[in-house]
Structure 1
């Protein structure tokens, strides 16, 4: 990071000098206009026009950079800004000054765009946030220092105007002498402000309002100070306190906004700022200058924080791919507010006096606070951990889109060097000789070999694979960098290129493939495949590397992007490819991926289950000789898939569920259901093994964090769990949910599943019976709803016959449900006769229509006969 700052030192010096001049101009103009006895509303109008130029410059600046380049555009803009301020020294005319104010705003916007684009070209994904923070610190520090330059001479003289022009001209020199090249500028399409308002009403309104109050306070504060006779060095101190507050307050406000509901923080900040602002006039009347300056720093600091808070609030509601286009509309909203603020507030100050500045601003803040309360009532709060991070932004300059670390990172495209441009032109004119030409040029300029090869590979008609082979001979020491560059240039050939690397540099292929997959997620599966093909023993290593990468990516997925997130499919595809190439490491690979991306557990489990079954089926179809060969070739693989019997496959499925449940315990049931849905014939085996691990897993979860227990209070109530032991409740609830979910997946094995789980967990037998009965009841309701929907679609002339048929179908379905419930009760009663009464009662409570069948199923049980259950059920049956 330090080396990056040092390399950009000339740019930061130019930025500091530019803002030093702007700091002087921002305080000089309102003071001089007041000395010229211009009316308050005229002063406000002239100052508002700055944002008109700022908005125009932000729209046109990128096209100017594309035409003239960064340095020339920056130099031309600053020279024109110097001319405009020097013109202001000639005539104190509000119309002239208004025109020059527009010009200064335009020039500054162009200069800011040039600097920020340059910074973006020099930053990386990891450093751009720090560079943005340093950039904002330079801006605010220079603005603060520039306000003290007004004490060099009297504002009534032309000296300060000339000094401002000199400072602006000096800002051109460091950047003009720099050897760095700025990146190519790309145009972006802005999201409609109406569309943005629909997505985040509060963000847009807060951004617009922040433009009003920010521009009003930081432009009209000299008029307020003049009313109380604050001038000279005291004026610089007072105005500087507002700028200092704008810098310092961003740290605590940002800290709070990242840890609490951002809207609540914004509401409290607005109320505090307005309350403190209302006190400033009282402190000024009491001539308490220090207290007045501190209060101004607090109020102005919060006002400055409203802008970055509004950006963060808006980003909370957007997909990451929408942030860049939304930023243009946010800048527009802020600029419109900036145009309105100084003039509208100056009109009120003309009516009620300059001392009422903070009263007017406070009222605007209270209106925004009321809107915040309204939005808090309409839309629930986003969890604090899901909110976008607060990023320091200065209202003095347009938000830097490229440098904002919340924006999806796109590597800046740098202009081609003369040598690379020549190579591309030759390749375009004669693709047949492009490889020989590139080979010659790289031999002559090896330091530009990577750039030359990457650009020539993009030319239509050039054979990238042949070009790559030639580079293996010419610059073998750069082949790793060339491989990465060529894969980025021709991603469709990524697999073939890395395969060729594997032939020449087998020791490096795993590292290169892993790094390419990290940078380009769309190539991740291909890179994993080529890495494991060249080094099969590296399958787990590759899986663990990508698991860490995917885990980091998954953790960074924003709430608004979750509907488009495909992490589970990507994880399953990666596991599928690796397990195909290294089947003996399938479970290890799957466990590593699921541990990093827990929400992919079910998808990965289903994919692995299908692959294991297909592989076993292939071995079985190929006959015992092939299976024997498989055993001979790989003893590890034989343990998993060589035995083609049903027992082996069931054990594989059980092992899969057990391993994945260990690394993703919260998704344990989803894992079991996914495996059973993929291969229904393993349902009972999976249920039995899973049930045997429930108690241990619940104990571990309870010890780790009581809130992570699988027990769900609402669910335990539905299955009748009322034991005072929380852990026992959790075990029973999970067992019941397991039976319910698995019986839904394979209803034909539902009773077997229920009995298997109850035998593994006798203490959960009643909960299992209740859960199964509830599942039967829900299934019956779904069938009845489906039947009713079908009947509605039948033509009118068949209505009577279809209704009768529907009634018969419905009665048949109910009879089957009752019989299935009775079968469950009968089998559970045989397995656990001491709980037969409770089991029967639980099922009848959940499915009253099964009472007769349950009675018949239990009539042979001595324990049931000795209880009142049968007589009670018979009595209910006769009443029915």
Structure 2
């Protein structure tokens, strides 16, 4: 591990120094605005601009890095950050401060995108999680130390802003002096917020709440402290306690999240945290500084832990290939919450007083608690053993999601051959040209036809039916191989292919559908006919199949039978048997579908799948349920 980390020392040093700059200014700015007697609502608006800049940076950072490279992008962020910090010292114009604050948020997002890509490129599957943990420790250590730097100079002088600018410039030195070259940039896209919410409502809502609560507390806490006569070194201790809680609580909360139903853990954490939030103003009123700091650390720590818990909850409900896109969507949701938090909290404080901050936090948590209860009743919990593990993310602003060991990494699978890589690249700008190229390759190298077809089918602008036709005409003997490759790589498009085949090649439909059905994952470990050599591989395959991925296959299998039933109803039972044998979890839905269409022969279906114990049991249960609702059995095959 030491050998792995030594080449990354310059990156971690640059990250530490830069984050000290962000941490220092994050504390100095609200304290200085309070000293300038700027009204609380305006302070909240200026502080919220940081999240707006972070959102913009999250959207465009990777495109900018791809254009200029990692080192130049980091240098630009350091320069812009220094300019922004020094801009605060030039004038107290509130519009200028809002713009500078937004620029700092943009720099923060881009800085972490640079570090994220660089560390991810150096990491392996074995040490990715450890490097992520070290990077988060580096961030939190820098933020902790920076809280004490406010004591280096009076708050009414520009000295602290100058020190902040110097830190941004100094953070650039270790990285640019390194001999290492920047890594390759991998473009990522964000999942639409509507799709994300549909798949994981609780993940999205808890992520928004995490941004709302964390940003409200950390941005407005210095104002609360100032109004309670907490300043100087005590202010540093107060803010450092909040940051320490963000780090320390990651470990016990992560352990609880991995050992119990995550939603139940979140439920209990919220109840506990509402009590801790209420204790902060009470302790401040009675000048109980130690209890106040402990309560603050607990409150902010739980707010911070809500973000990685929301990621894990979301990952439980989506396919593995969608994790990176989902993470991008969650960053947007978090930024939206972080923008709304200071705005709303500052308004509450301006109207009702400083203690209204904690009333706002408690009411927001109460609303989240209600939604947690609703989701616990609306959807059954996953077994604890198949929940995604908790991975430390101290805050979304420092989210190094390329390092997250749960997210599939670029190049972790078998790499495409050169022809497939070129075809995929061409398809991004000209899908038609990519298909023509694929046809020519398939004619000269038929063995590459299946891989080409499967890769191009993942391009949104390429219609799967026409692609299949074009490739099969070039390599006619590989129609079943191509269909199997499509089902294995893009199972969600299997039904579209069947529908297209029904209209264009009905004579080949059954063979193609059977080939597709045989590509669905199956668990035959209970079958007595399996030999020991197959048992291990089957068990390993099904163990790796997550519930969300299995659900996607199940939906695809059901749609496949539905299309076949609509076009060739007399052969539907044969196809259904093949599908159920491979996806027994879909047996109930498929049997119900055939039952409603009056196209089911109970004995025929059971006999076709009798060698598959799991499928037989699932189908038998579904058949018994359907026939129990009738006075006479259905037999219309």
With normalisation by structure 1, the TM-score equals: 0.51
Partner of 2:561: none
What's the offset of the Cα at 1:563? 3.6
Map of 2:38 onto structure 1: 38
Distance (Å, rounded) in 2 between the aligned partners of 1:67 and 1:243? 35
Q: What's the CA shift for 1:179?
A: 2.2
Partner of 2:548: 560
Q: 1:239 to 1:544 in 2, by over 3 A?
A: farther
Q: Which residue of 2 aligns with 1:316?
A: 316
In 2: Cα distance, 1:142 partner to 1:222 partner: 18
Please give the residue correspondences for 1:804-815 in structure 2 after superposition, counting only pairs within 5 Å.
none
Does the CA-based 8 Å contact 2:307-2:396 persist in structure 1?
Answer: no
Distance of aligned partners of 1:557 and 1:214 in 2 relative to their CA distance in 1, 3 Å threshold: same
Q: What corresponds to 1:250 in structure 2?
A: 250
Q: Distance in 1 between matches of 2:627 and 2:292?
A: 72
- The match for 1:346 is 346
Partner of 1:212: 212
SS of residue paired to 1:19: helix
| Alpha carbons 1:13, 1:174 under 8 Å: kept | yes
The answer to whether the 8 A contact 1:246-1:301 is kept is yes
1:786 paired to 2:630: no
Q: How does 1:613-628 map to 2 (within 5 A)?
A: none
Pair 1:172-2:197 in alignment: no
In the other structure, the counterpart of 2:237 is 237
Mapped to 1, the partners of 2:175 and 2:59 lie a distance apart of 23
Instruction: Classify 1:279/1:552 alpha carbon distance in 2 versus 1 (closer, same or farther; 3 Å).
Output: same
Q: Kindly state the Cα deviation for residue 369 of structure 1 after the two structures are TM-superposed.
A: 0.6
TM-fit CA distance, 1:399 = 2.8
Equivalent pair of 2:319/2:552 in contact (CA under 8 Å): no
Say which structure is richer in helix: 1
CA separation in 2, counterparts of 1:305 and 1:207?
10
CA-atom RMSD in angstroms: 4.0
Q: What CA distance in whole angstroms lies between the structure 2 residues aligned with 1:194 and 1:777?
A: 35
Deviation, 1:222, is 0.5
Q: Which residue of 1 is the match for residue 153 of structure 2?
A: 153
| Preserved CA contact (<8 Å) 1:225 1:235 | yes
Preserved contact between residue 277 and residue 362 of structure 2 (Cα < 8 Å):
yes
Distance 2:628 2:24 in 1: 79
Residue 99 of structure 2 is aligned to residue 111 of structure 1: no
Q: 1:551 to 1:401 in 2, by over 3 A?
A: farther
* Inter-partner Cα distance in structure 1 for 2:254 and 2:103: 34
Instruction: Measure the CA separation in 1 of the matches of 2:625 and 2:189.
Output: 54
Q: 1:54 to 1:293 in 2, by over 3 A?
A: same
- Structure 2 residue 403 is the aligned partner of structure 1 residue 403: yes
8 A contact 2:139–2:398 mirrored in 1? no
State how far apart, in whole Å, the 2-side matches of 1:80 and 1:114 are.
15
Give 1:215-226 correspondences, 5 Å limit: 215-226=215-226
Superposition map of 1:563-602 within 5 A: 563-564=551-552
Distance 1:178 1:379, change over 3 A: same
Alpha-carbon displacement from aligned partner over 1:727-763 (angstroms, at most 9, x marks no partner): xxxxxxxxxx99xx79x99xxxxxxxxxxxxxxxxxx
Q: CA deviation at 1:552?
A: 4.3
Cα separation, 2, equivalents of 1:367 and 1:386: 28
SS at match of 1:275: helix
Report matched runs for 1:690-709 at 5 Å.
Answer: none
**Distance in 2 between residues matched to 1:382 and 1:184, nearest whole Å:** 37
TM-score of the aligned structures, taking structure 2 as reference length: 0.70
> Residues 776 and 243 from structure 1, CA distance in 2 versus in 1: closer, same or farther, beyond 3 angstroms?
closer
Return the alpha-carbon distance in structure 2 between the equivalents of residues 274 and 187 of structure 1. 40
Q: Deviations over 1:278-328 (max 9, x none)?
A: 011111111110111011111111011111111111111111112111122
Could you list the per-position Cα deviations for residues 185-240 of structure 1 after superposition, in whole angstroms to 9, with x for gaps in the alignment?
22223211012111111111111111111111111111111111111111000000
**Equivalent position SS for 2:189:** coil
Q: Secondary structure of 1:8's partner?
A: helix
Flag the 1:286–1:184 CA change in 2: closer, same or farther, 3 A.
Answer: same
- CA separation of 1:307/1:776 partners in 2, compared to 1, >3 Å: closer, same or farther? closer
The answer to whether the 8 Å contact 1:120/1:412 transfers is no
Q: Over residues 366-392 of structure 1, what are the superposed CA-to-partner deviations in whole Å (9 max), with x where a residue is unaligned?
A: 111111111112112221112111111
| Structure 2 partner of 1:393 | 393
Separation in structure 1 between the aligned mates of residue 538 and residue 187 of structure 2, nearest angstrom: 31
Aligned to 2:272: 272
Change (3 A) 1:548 1:405: farther
For this pair of structures, how many residues does the alignment match? 493
Whole-angstrom CA distance in 2 between matches of 1:24 and 1:165: 10
Equivalent position of 1:840 in the other structure: none
* 3-state secondary structure, aligned to 1:354: coil
Maintained 8 Å contact 1:121/1:412: no
Q: How big is the shift at 1:679?
A: 12
Distance 2:629 2:116 in 1: 62
Kindly report which structure 2 residues correspond to 1:26-105, keeping only aligned pairs within 5 A, or say none: 26-105=26-105
Please name the residue that 2:589 is paired with. Answer: none
Gaps of 5+ in 1: 414-457, 466-486, 493-520, 523-542, 570-599, 605-672, 684-736, 746-774, 791-880
Indicate if the aligned counterparts of 2:112 and 2:399 stay in contact, CA closer than 8 A.
no
| 8 Å Cα contact 1:203-1:314 kept in structure 2 | yes
Structure index of larger Rg: 1
Deviation of 1:403 (Å): 1.1
Cα distance in 1, alignment partners of residues 19 and 196 from structure 2: 32
The 1-side partners of 2:629 and 2:339 are apart by 62
Determine the C-alpha separation between the residues in 1 that align with 2:56 and 2:182. Answer: 22
**Relative contact order (alpha carbons < 8 A, sep ≥ 6): 1 or 2 greater?**
2
Residues in 1 aligned to 2:24 and 2:533: alpha-carbon distance in whole angstroms: 54
Q: Distance in 2 between matches of 1:779 and 1:40?
A: 68
Say yes or no: does 1:366 pair with 2:366.
yes
Match of 1:6 in 2: 6
Distance 1:603 1:53 in 2: 49
Structure 2 Cα separation of the partners of residues 385 and 296 of structure 1: 33
Write out aligned runs for 1:284-683 (5 A). Answer: 284-395=284-395, 397-411=397-411, 551-564=539-552
Alpha-carbon displacement from aligned partner over 1:369-427 (angstroms, at most 9, x marks no partner): 111111112112221112111111122525333211111232389xxxxxxxxxxxxxx
Q: How does 1:189-208 map to 2 (within 5 A)?
A: 189-208=189-208
